[in-house]
Structure formats: structure tokens, C-alpha cells
Amino acid sequence: MTAPLLKVENLRIELTTRDGVAPVIDDLSFELGAGESISFVGESGCGKSMTALGIMGLLPEKVGRVASGSINFAGEELSTATEKRMREIRGNDISMIFQEPMTSLNPVYTVGEQIAEVLRAHQNLSKAAAWASAIELLDAVRIPNAQRRVSDYPFQMSGGQRQRVMIAIALACKPKILIADEPTTALDVTIQAQIFDLLNDMKRQTGAAIIMITHDMGAVAEMAERMIVMYAGRNAEQGPVEQIIERPRHPYSKGLIACVPHIMATLTEERRELTEVAGIVPSLREFGKNRCLFASRCNMVTQKCLDKRPPEVAFEGQQMSACWHAEAV
Amino acid sequence: MSTNPLIPKDNVPIARHPAAEAWEMFRRNHAAMVALVVLSAIVLVAIFGPYIYPIDPFDMVWAPFSPPGVDGFILGTDYLGRDLLAAIIHGARVSILIGLAAALMSVFIGVTVGALAGFYRGWVEEVLMRITEFFQVLPTLLFSMVIVALFGASLPMITFAIGIVSWTAVARITRSEFLRIRELEYVTASRASGTKNSKLMFKVILPNALPPIIVQAALMVGSAILFEAGLSFLGLTDPNVVSWGQVIGSNRQYILDAGYTVTIPGIAIFVTVLAISLVGDGLNDALNPKLRQR
Amino acid sequence: MSDDPEVLLDVKDLTVRFGVKRGGLFGEPKYLYAVDDISFQIKRGKTLAIVGESGSGKTTAALAVARLVEAYKGTVDLDGTDFLTLEDEDLRQARAKMQFIFQDPYSSLNPRVRAEKIVREPLDNLESGAKEDRQQIVDKLFEAVGLHPEQQRLFPHQFSGGQRQRIGIARALATQPDLIICDEPVSALDVAVQAQILNLLRKLQTDFGLTFLFISHDLGVVQHMCDTIVVMYMGKVVEYADRLSLFNNPLHPYTVALLSAVPSVDKKRRAEMKRILIPGDPPDPLDLPKGCRFANRCPVAIERCKTEQPILNEVALGHQVACHLVDERAVSPLS
């Protein structure tokens, strides 16, 4: 096996809050191969987006920092890279799209200008060449009549179209990794289907690896090959998507899958009560304690869970679960 | 609900009033706390000062232009030999009283106009906002001068003259808050459960619209004091009561010979208004729920 | 009035339009028909869902039923009284029978009011019973929705999203309504919390014999909660069917596409389901096409679809579709 494109090892990201320093990411390790797609799943406040920001070097200034561990991108250490180097990497080698297409575009520039801007910044294209590429990119993300729409302002476009423009900007420099942070949460489901289709298409064409952050297990099943279930800043479970959905080894992943009413192939009269995951994600004060942070919501909890943080246990086919009772789940 | 015995029952947090939390937030703002102490001291002086230091500020008690600290007069005397300290202490009453009364009047007019406009919308809003705009484009100082000149320079009239030109800002803030809050779901929810319009307006929406209005009111006390000083400086004041602006006004010819007669009341105004602004600033932070979440 | 005593809510020809200023002072006023001539019935103790994407008019329809938005025409018959013709005091009293659960638990509770008072407000408005009795009802409601009695004195911001939604539910139950309108009650909540609320709603439905009008964009949730489903697109009903017919045999091309767009964890469904991508965006609501409103995105549209608006047609028992291409054989044009 060749070296992975992105290798994150024992990453710890600390956030300074009013109540002190909390490890919002606590000992997270994962690998991402070239052209692979991986998904981060979990409820809000579990550190999914923080991981993405950590990789991008965009942690909130003065408040957040990589405390230990490494983020290795194609042989280069990103956690210690200079801001100047990170600027070169961002948008060029690693780029990101966000949840809210309404606010992530600048309202006072045309979409063409915003795409061209990225191209000129990273690839030294001439103005005319950048503009031409912008039209090509809009066409590639299936905006009809790209020639004309390139001079539209963001407000003249629908939510779905704006997200396409974001994707065009993100893919402008043919990045090796595209991070998509809840890219379709704000969009309607038929538009979500269009965006997923587009992302899969772009992935095939450019060979970019995709990190998708989501809370929707269905979307994970649709989009990713591997997934990382995160809970309270820690890796709860990680492994191939099919395998985890088929046989989750962590009560949290199991809960996340079972608590959503999924549409099955054939619907029957029968409707079972949904499995509940009681309670909510713990507050930041709880993060980093030496015990299983999911214990307070878990129905398999024993004294051991409250005494010591569970180690990651490996199962066949790279499935790894951080639970004392992984075998029994 | 979880029934596992190993899990302690959720600790129910204590019920705290939002006002208590706002106070907590306010206390963290050191500048505002210092300002609050200063302001309280000034208010105490205004209330009790004249009893503790009963010298009449209109009495000629010593030789004119006696500098501060000389001959037992802490702040010296003015061009008629009147005690400046007495003027500052007695003047505090008038300045602060006019500031408060004018601000109160502005808030009353502004909130009523803004609330009606923002709640009922339609033609009510059109008419009220045109009236507001009319008052907004008036040259404020000139307008108040005309009122005072026409109807006499009594304290109530001066208060009225200041209040009538400064309520527009409150009206606009109230209206925009009402427009925002009336669309929030809890207002719709209240409507869905059969709440009457009057209750909706004053019991549901208004309390939530108050924070920026309170901040504006606090700042307005400061500007009303300045306004009053301006009017008195121009001589448009009740000659029988002493106020800080009036002291500056009456001593203005001697600014080069006896600068302190103008500087001292000036400092009093400056300190008071600054303290009010800082308190207003602290209130703004304390009442702003977005900041509070951090 | 409906003849069927089983029917609790009978909505007929409901239309909501908003005036949109256009073309200056003397320009022709333009109207946006957010809800255009929709009809449906809900039987006692059952749940009907209105599904659709943003701009479909589903929330406006719900607000119009509850008279939180004025309808332009139509009738809303709740248990024999036309809700839309009630005035002032009658309306205030009648609201007790029809309550609303809102989407956003963060903005639907007044931040300056304690939880107990939020729940008690509908009772206070009706001035029903002594104050102690009302408090007793509040105690019971807190228990029914799974909150601690000690939490009554707290303010909304001291609760989590799920707990806030429980308060909203308790408030809706306070006046012992017959019908509760749930407007996207879980879409603002985290997935794990959604299940808690959905289970609670179903339990309360059985315990109190409630009837739900359920508004949602999430077909998984709808499938789990509802007995009958109305699919809306651009203010119109495109399909109206019971749960099994709709999910197992969707007929309107839009419904088919909508269902196929929902990502699923079910391997079998993913393998069998052909994803139908509908291109483009919905038309401008101020400039609607003459014919079928879905025609510009429909993969099987014919000339007739662009010129003639299809009407809702019962093609099978309890299954109505508004599409020129669906007839009594009840076969979707996309299959």
C-alpha cells in the first residue's frame, strides 16, 4: 500500500473557553488515501467541523490550537506549517465548502469574479484566462447558460446554484482533498441529490479525495467508502461504511443508525418505536475526562466505562471501535 | 428517559432570572463598573449634597476670581465672588434631573410611537413614521431654542424642549425591534393560544424589545445633560436655578483670565456624561444575548 | 361540512395569496399564490402529513389552517365549525381546540418567561378554571412530556433543544385540543434527539387521542409518523394518498423523484431504487407557467403539460394524483 495522502495521528485540538481549556478533539487518528471518500458523522458539538478546521489551519485565532499530534499531508506536516504556507495550500491543495451557501459567497462580487480570484491567486493566470476558466467551471458544475450566469451576483442565484458555485470555487485549482462541511443541510432533498451526484462526478473526473461532514447516515451510505463516527471530540468508531451500518460495534453508531426513521425498500404496515439515544452531547467541561464520555447516554454502561477511557479495539476489515463492550454491541 | 442506576439524575440548574445574568455580565465589564460607582457618587451628591454643603450658589460670599484651594474655597469663586463648589453641587441636581426627565419623556413618546408602528404596520406605520421623520429633520438645537424662547425658560419647558427633539431615535429602534420580534415564533405561538393584541404588544413583544431601548435611554440621559448645558450656555435657562451649563455660560467672558471657572463645571459635565456612556456601553454588552452565550 | 363523523378536519379549496408590490405606485398589484386551492381531510386520531420542499407552501397552508395567516378563500371545518369565519372572541376561544407546535425550539419560546408560565399561557388566556387548577394541569403536562417538575421555574435558555421542544409540546397540549398542527417539529433538532421527540409525539397521540396535521420535508419522518400524505409543489397538491400507496407506489413524477432523492442506509433500497435526478430549480412563484408547475423539471413532460394544468384525479382508492400522464391503471409514467 502506498503512503496515504493525509495522515492524522493522535490529534489533539484545544479550545480555550470561559471554563478553561477543553480538548475538542482528543486523540484522533485517521488516514485518507488519494481519491478516497470518507465521512465524519456525529451530532453537533462532537468535533466534526473542528477537525476540518484543524486540517485547514483555520482554527479560531487565539482560542483554538493544535496541542499535540500531527496532520501529515503528502509528507508535509501541517500542524506546524507557517501561515504563509497554509495560505498556499488552502484552496489549492485542500479546499472546503460550507453548509450555508447563502453566506459563504461575497454578495458584492459576481460569481465569475469570485471564481477567477481563486484561480489568479493560486495559479497566476491572466485575467482573461481566469475568466474563461470560470465559465468552464460553472459549466462543469452544471449551471445552465454559464456564459451568461458568470456575471450574476450571488443573490440572483438559488441556494442550490450557490452551492454549485462554491463547489466550482473549491475545485477551481484541482485540489487533492475537498472538505465538505454539511454541504446539503440547508438544501432541499432533490437539490441535495443533484449536489451529491455532482460531487461524485467531480470526484471521478478530478480524482480528489472527499471528506464529508454530516449527521445523516443515509448521506454517508450514499457518498462515502469509510466513516468515522465522532462523539465528544473522540473517535467512537471508524471503518468501512457498509460494515458499520451492517454491524456497528459502538452503541453510539448503533444509536445514530437506529434512531432515524429510514425509508426501506418496501414499506409495511408495521411501525416500530424508534430507538432513542437518551440525553444530549456532554458540555465541553466533560471533554477530555478519563472515562467513556458516551456512558451517560449508553444503555450498556458498566462501572468500567465510568472509570477509564476505552481503548480502540480493531475488528476485521479495519473496523475500530472505542468501547469496552464492543464485542457485545 | 434513561433508567440506568449508574447514571446520576440530571442536575437541574437553578432558575435564574435573565436580569440576574445580565448583572453578572455587567459586573465583568470593569470600565462600566467604575463608571457606575462614579455615577452613583454624582447622583448621591445631587441628592444629598445641598444639605451637607448648604451654601447658596447665588450668594456672593468672597472676593471674585479667588482661585481653587485659596481662602478655604475648594473650587474657588467666580466673577461675582460666588462659591463654585456650591454651584457644582447644586447644579448637579438640575443637570441630572433634566437629563433623566427628558430621557424619560423621549422613551415614553418613542416607545409608544415605535410600538404602534411596528405592531400594526400598514397605514398606522406610514403615518407615525412620517411624523417621526418630520421631527428627525428639524434642526434640533434651533427648534428647542425657539420653544424655550417662546414659552419661557422654566425647567419643565426646557425638559420638554429637549425631550421633543430626541424621541425619534427611540421610536425607530422600538419599531425595528417590533418588526423583528413580531415575526418570531414565540409571538405567533402566543397568538395561536389566543392572546389579545394589547397583551401581545406590551407583555410579550415589548419586554423582549427593551434591551436596546434601555441602552439608548441611558445614552440619552447623557446627551440631554449636554443639550441642557448648551441651552444654558446660550442663556436659555431658568435664571433662578443653577446648572452646570449655566455656570459655564455666565463665566464665559472670563475664560482667559480665570479658566477654572469654565473648566470645573466642564469637567463635571464631561465626567458625568462619560460615566453614563460607559454604563450604557456595559448595559449593551450585558443585555445583548449574543454576547452572553459566549 | 363533512358528512363523515370520522372526519375531524375538513379543508376545502384553501387559498392563500400575498400581495407583492410591483411597478410603482399605480402598477398592477401582483399576487403570490403560496397555497393554491388545496383540499384535504383528516380523520380523528390520525395523522396527515403535508410534505414538500421549500416554497411548496406547506407551512403557509398550516398557518392558514390555524388562522395565523389569513386565507384568501376556502373553508377550514374543524369538528363542524368553520374556523375561517370566526371573529374576535369566538376565534380566541376556538383556538383552544387547535394548537400549534413550531419548528424552531429556540425562537418559539419567549426568552423572558419561565417554562411553567409558557405552558400555562393558553389556559390563562382562556381564563378557564381557578389558578391552582391550571397549575395542576401544568404539573401533569410537565410529567407527560418527560420534564422534571423542578424545571418549571427555569427560563428557556436553560434547556437543551429537545427539552425546549418538549415545553412547546406541553404548551400545545394545555387546552386539551383535538387537533395539533406540528410544523417541522424535529427538523431543527439533532438526529438522536429527533427520535426522542417523535416517540413522544406518537405516545401522546395514543394517550390523548390526538389528531395531527404534520408538516415536514423529511420523508423518513413522514413515513414513520403519518397515515395519509399530501405532496405539495409550488402551492399545489400533486399527490394525495395513504402511506403505503404513496411510498410503495408513488405516481406523480415529482413524488417519485422526491422519494428517490432521499439517501438511505438500506442496501436493498439503494440497489433497487433508480435515482431520478430532476434538473434545475422550481419556477418563479410570481411568474408561474400556465400548465403543470412541475413541467419544466419533469423528465417525461409532454406538450400538453406545458399548456394545461392537470387536476387532482382519484386513480385508485384513496390515491389522488394531478398529472396528465397518470390514469386509472395507476402506473407512474417514470416506471
pLDDT score of A149 more than 60: yes
Under an 8 A CB cutoff, do A267 and C248 touch? yes
- Please write the tens of the pLDDT for every residue from C306-322: 999 999 999 998 899 99
Could you state, in order of their start, the residue ranges of all structural domains in chain C? 7-233, 250-335
Q: Supply the pLDDT for residue C292.
A: 93
Cα–Cα–Cα angle for B55, B58, B64, nearest 5°?
95
Three cell numbers written together for A174:
484541482
pLDDT score of B77 more than 80: no
Mean pLDDT of C314-332: 88
CATH architecture designation of domain B20-291: Orthogonal Bundle (1.10)
The closest CB to that of B15, out of C91, C92, C154, belongs to C154
- Please write the tens of the pLDDT for every residue from B216-270: 888 888 888 888 888 888 888 887 888 888 888 888 788 777 778 888 888 888 8
Under an 8 A CB cutoff, do C154 and B195 touch? no
Q: Supply the pLDDT for residue B6.
A: 35
Q: Supply the pLDDT for residue A44.
A: 86
Under an 8 A CB cutoff, do C99 and B193 touch? yes
Tell me which of C147 and C271 has the higher pLDDT.
C147
- Please write the tens of the pLDDT for every residue from C151-166: 888 888 888 889 999 9
Q: Supply the pLDDT for residue B289.
A: 58
Could you state, in order of their start, the residue ranges of all structural domains in chain B? 20-291
Residue A177 banded pLDDT, cuts 50, 70, 90: very high
- Please write the tens of the pLDDT for every residue from B166-187: 999 999 999 999 999 998 889 9
C-alpha to C-alpha distance for A284 and B278, rounded to whole angstroms = 33
DSSP assignment, residue A179? E
Mean pLDDT of C100-119: 90
Q: Give the residue on B whose Cα is nearest the Cα of C69.
A: B188
Of the candidates A228, A1, A227, A206, the one whose C-alpha atom is nearest the C-alpha of residue A93 is: A206
Q: Look up cell 433662578; give the residue.
A: B240
Q: Which of A215-219, C109-113, C185-189, C282-286 has the lowest mean pLDDT?
A: C282-286
Mean pLDDT of C104-133: 88
Of the candidates C238, C297, C236, C257, the one whose C-alpha atom is nearest the C-alpha of residue A190 is: C257
Q: Supply the pLDDT for residue B58.
A: 79
- For B43, residues 6+ apart whose C-beta sits below 8 A from its C-beta are B96
- For A71, residues 6+ apart whose C-beta sits below 8 A from its C-beta are A6, A7, A8, A11, A54, A55, A77, A78, A79
ipTM: 0.86
| Distance of residue C99 Cα from the nearest chain B Cα, in angstroms | 7
pTM for this entry = 0.85
- Touching check for B190 and chain C: CB below 8 Å? yes
- Please write the tens of the pLDDT for every residue from B5-48: 333 344 556 666 777 878 888 888 888 999 999 999 989 988 88
- Please write the tens of the pLDDT for every residue from A95-104: 998 887 777 8
Ramachandran quadrant class, A61 (left: phi over 0; alpha: psi -120 to 50; beta: rest): beta
For chains A and C, count residue pairs whose Cβ atoms are closer than 8 Å.
Answer: 133
Q: Give the residue on A whose Cα is nearest the Cα of B294.
A: A18
Angle between helices A189-206 and C253-261 (to 10 degrees): 60
Q: Supply the pLDDT for residue C26.
A: 63
Residue A270 banded pLDDT, cuts 50, 70, 90: confident
Q: Supply the pLDDT for residue B8.
A: 39
DSSP assignment, residue A49? H
Q: Supply the pLDDT for residue B9.
A: 43
pLDDT score of B2 more than 60: no
Q: Supply the pLDDT for residue B95.
A: 87
Q: Supply the pLDDT for residue C170.
A: 95
Q: Give the residue on B whose Cα is nearest the Cα of A296.
A: B7
pLDDT score of A273 more than 70: yes
| Distance of residue B7 Cα from the nearest chain A Cα, in angstroms | 6
Q: Which long-range CB contacts under 8 A does B234-239 form with residues at least 24 apart?
A: B234/B145, B236/B145, B236/B148, B236/B149, B236/B153, B236/B158, B237/B153, B237/B158, B238/B153, B238/B154, B238/B155, B238/B158, B239/B153
- Coil, helix or strand for C321? strand
pLDDT score of C20 more than 70: yes
Q: Supply the pLDDT for residue A72.
A: 93
Under an 8 A CB cutoff, do B289 and C153 touch? no
| Distance of residue C246 Cα from the nearest chain A Cα, in angstroms | 10
Under an 8 A CB cutoff, do A189 and C267 touch? no
Q: Give the residue on B whose Cα is nearest the Cα of C155.
A: B15
Q: Supply the pLDDT for residue B3.
A: 35
Hey, of B193, B199, B205, B206, which one would you mutate to test binding to chain C, going by the most C CBs within 10 A of its CB? B193
Strands A37-41 and A209-214: parallel
Ramachandran quadrant class, C44 (left: phi over 0; alpha: psi -120 to 50; beta: rest): beta
Of the candidates C128, C205, C218, C132, the one whose C-alpha atom is nearest the C-alpha of residue C172 is: C205
Chains that touch A (3 or more CB pairs under 8 A): B, C
CATH architecture designation of domain C7-233: 3-Layer(aba) Sandwich (3.40)
Mean pLDDT of A135-162: 88
Q: Give the residue on C whose Cα is nearest the Cα of A257.
A: C265
- For C94, residues 6+ apart whose C-beta sits below 8 A from its C-beta are C78, C81, C83, C86
The closest CB to that of A267, out of C161, C244, C273, belongs to C244
Q: Supply the pLDDT for residue A299.
A: 87
Strands A234-240 and A226-231: antiparallel
Under an 8 A CB cutoff, do B194 and C100 touch? no
Residue B149 to residues B144, B229, B235, B237, Cα–Cα distance (Å) = 8, 16, 10, 9
Under an 8 A CB cutoff, do B15 and C100 touch? no
Under an 8 A CB cutoff, do A190 and C202 touch? no
- For C106, residues 6+ apart whose C-beta sits below 8 A from its C-beta are C161, C164, C188
Under an 8 A CB cutoff, do B6 and A278 touch? no
Report chain C's terminal Cα–Cα distance, integer Å.
39
Under an 8 A CB cutoff, do C278 and A190 touch? yes
Contacts of B188 in chain C (CB under 8 A): 63, 68, 100, 102, 108
